[in-house]
Amino acid sequence: MCGRYIYNDKVTKEIQRYLELEGSYTYNDSVITPAMNAVSLVKDKKLSESIAITSLFWGIVGYDKKLIINAKSESVADKTLFADSFMARRCILPAAGFYEWDKSKTKYEFKREDTGSIYLAGLYDLSDNKDSFVILTTSANESMKPVHDRMPVMIDKKDVKEYLLDASSALDMIKQPMPQLVKSSEYEQLSLFD
């Protein structure tokens, strides 16, 4: 599951530099939570072979009127609520890292080992009159299992454009093993400033 992630100016700069996307989207070291707008990468509606940066709302209203924030990658292409969106409206949520809690409610921050940005795979649709997204999740890998049994699907930065533009490739990408991550607890983060 993914219920909180970090967006900062470093991520904005990486998007501008590596993906050559200009935009004034910055949230100044924000923790992005459900029911917030977030910087999102999508297929450009005007230029079919390009990607664009925009803002999407986190959460799609389900049939029971509850806010859905994640979708299982293993079944996303088959679920009525998500299948059309996955085929036509995929998005990437760039992040510096994300948070997860274990069963004892200890909060952990997960980041890439090389401290680069993480590109979370998602899909979006019009929900409650807003372009809204969910983050795809998959079974946890070894770096995540001690904390949670699910983790967000991450797309390698070199594959971001292909994920957004090619549904068949995107379907293959979400089945790939996830990268190993580095974790630190809230207590460990606080002790760094002692």
The pLDDT tens digits of the residues spanning 126-137 come to 998 999 999 999
40 strand-pairing partners: 54
Domain ranges of the chain: 4-191
- Stretch 162-191: mean pLDDT, rounded? 86
Four-CA torsion 66, 68, 72, 76, nearest 10 degrees: 90
- Stretch 17-27: mean pLDDT, rounded? 70
Taking 3-state DSSP, the helix, strand and coil percentages for the chain, each rounded to the nearest 5, stand at 20, 40, 40
How many other C-beta atoms lie within 10 A of the C-beta of residue 107? 15
**Structure-token match 């925009």, residue found:** 54
Q: DSSP E strands: which ranges in 60-128?
A: 60-61, 67-68, 70-72, 90-95, 97-101, 107-112, 118-127
Q: What digits encode the pLDDT tens for the residues 74-118?
A: 999 999 999 999 999 999 999 999 999 999 999 999 999 887 899
Has residue 43 got a pLDDT over 50? yes
Residue 31 is predicted with a pLDDT of: 93
Query: Radius of gyration (Cα) for the chain, nearest Å?
Result: 16
- Stretch 6-26: mean pLDDT, rounded? 80
Residue 193 is predicted with a pLDDT of: 38
* Residues 114 and 81: beta-carbon distance below 8 Å: no
- Percent above pLDDT 90 for the chain: 74
Mean pLDDT rounded to a whole number for the chain: 90
What are the tokens at 137?
């999740």
The architecture of the domain spanning 4-191 is Alpha-Beta Complex (3.90)
Burial class (CB in 10 A: 0-12, 13-18, 19+), 158: exposed
